[in-house]
Copies of this chain bind each other. A is one copy, B any other.
Amino acid sequence: MTRFSSATKNLRSSEIRDLMSLATKPGIISFAGGMPGNDLFPIKEIDTIYNTLTVAEKQVAMQYGPTNGLPALLESLGEFLDQKGLPVSENRLLITTGSLQAINILAKAFIDRNDTIIVENPTFIGALSAFKSYQADVISVPVGNDGMSIEHLEKAIHGAPKDPKFLYITPSFHNPAGILYSAEAKNNLITFMTGKEIPIIEDDAYSELFFHPEDADRLKPIKAINPKGIDVCYTGSFSKIIGPGLRLGWMLVPQHIYEKCELIKQSFDACSPTFSQVLADKFLRTGAIYPYLDFIRTEYALRANAMFDALESHLPQYVEWVRPRGGFYIWLQLPEGADAAAILKIAIEKGAVFVTGKTFDPEGKKNNCMRISYCNTSPEMIRIGIPIIAEAIRNICG
């Protein structure tokens, strides 16, 4: 009889693996993935970067690096984030193995068994699995089209069995809800959280993927607003702006939190892949990232627009959704009592796949919503796939 730790009981079986394998199943039109399209990666740019590295730079790429990150990358990423308005100089930057690792490290720094934490509903499944693996008591607060309801948040905090250890949110192009917090919602949240001694983990993997440059103000991270009296732990990722295969993310956090996180990172994997860090540094440093960001913003907007058109033409009127202003995802609200799992079953039979909303519900209950993504599917395939989804919805909901 193998005696596993109690933490292993809280691991969600193979839901994420099943989701991944479904999303990449050949011969099916996938609206299930959260990955960039293979055709969109900056292969030529990486070729140029690799082939202009000196031997000494390649040796650095093959060697261990400092736990907090390659000095060159800390510098170039620091500058990139500084230009985004983030308070880089008064915080510490830690390079992580994807931003999921940043979230996991923060979870380990804060969560003791049965501690309360607060998340959005719906929420990012990767973060949820990390929080549950530390045996957190997860309380969720609904997000609307503009952000989190302060009223519900207040109730959640007052009703919590313990003072919450942190609040985890994704204000920009939420996964899965697709929404962008309004400036007002962020300000209200800041006002409410000030002096509460509850750190905010602000997950910002998507904010570069905006469709409307005029949203600049609304896209400003809470970390960039830099509210006094709140510890904001900001996490970001290269996965959506270069490629997830590099496995690079970061956190920007106050010094006293950084100190704990660096030690946890040290015991997790010593340092993040140096090979990837050398490439990412050059991608930033040579400025290759700027035209590339323009290219993918245009391309994702094209895919999103194809999906908006297809949804408007084919979806029944009773399905509620809003046009995301960037990112990867659209969230469909079905009528009360609708069974998204049954819809998925039919859709797969007909050749299209999405993710049921239940996957992103911390309570694992809500079954009348679904996430469809346009990031990894061409406009042509979107125009073929959306009618399949719409028909499957009609089959179940009438």
Contact = CB atoms under 8 A, between A and B. Distances in A.
B247 A62 contact: no
A245 interface: yes
Contact of A62 (B65, B132, B244, B275): B244
A100 B264 CA distance: 12
Nearest to A14: B263
Given A2-B231, A104-B267, A244-B274, A16 B260 contact: no
Interface string A104-144: 10001111110100000000001001101110000000000
Contacts of A98: 269-270
A97 B66 CA distance: 15
Contact of A112 (B5, B13, B47, B165): B5
A260 to B, nearest CB: 5
A-B residue pairs, 10 tightest by C-beta: A62-B243, A245-B274, A11-B263, A247-B273, A41-B62, A38-B59, A129-B267, A62-B245, A273-B273, A97-B269
Interface in A162-208: 163, 165, 197, 199
B2 A66 contact: no
Interface size class for chain A? 35 or more
A222 to B, nearest CB: 18
A100 B265 CA distance: 11
A267 B275 CA distance: 23
A74 interface: no
Contacts of A14: 263
B257 A269 contact: no
Contacts of A246: 62, 273, 275
A348 interface: no
A339 interface: no
A274 B231 CA distance: 33
A378 B98 CA distance: 36
Most B CB contacts (10 A, CB to CB) among A39, A165, A239, A243 go to A243
Interface string A270-294: 1111111011000000000000000
A57 to B, nearest CB: 10
A46 B67 contact: no
Interface in A1-35: 1-8, 11-14, 16-17, 20-21, 35
A97 B273 contact: yes
A273 B17 CA distance: 17
Contact of A59 (B8, B39, B56): B39
A268 interface: yes
B59 A41 contact: yes
B58 A43 contact: yes
A58 B39 contact: no
21 contacts: A1-B197, A2-B231, A3-B163, A7-B108, A16-B67, A17-B66, A35-B64, A39-B59, A47-B58, A60-B245, A61-B245, A62-B244, A62-B245, A97-B247, A97-B268, A101-B268, A104-B269, A129-B267, A245-B274, A273-B275, A276-B276
Contact of A64 (B8, B39, B245): B245
A283 to B, nearest CB: 12
Interface string A299-326: 0000000000000000000000000000
A245 B273 contact: yes
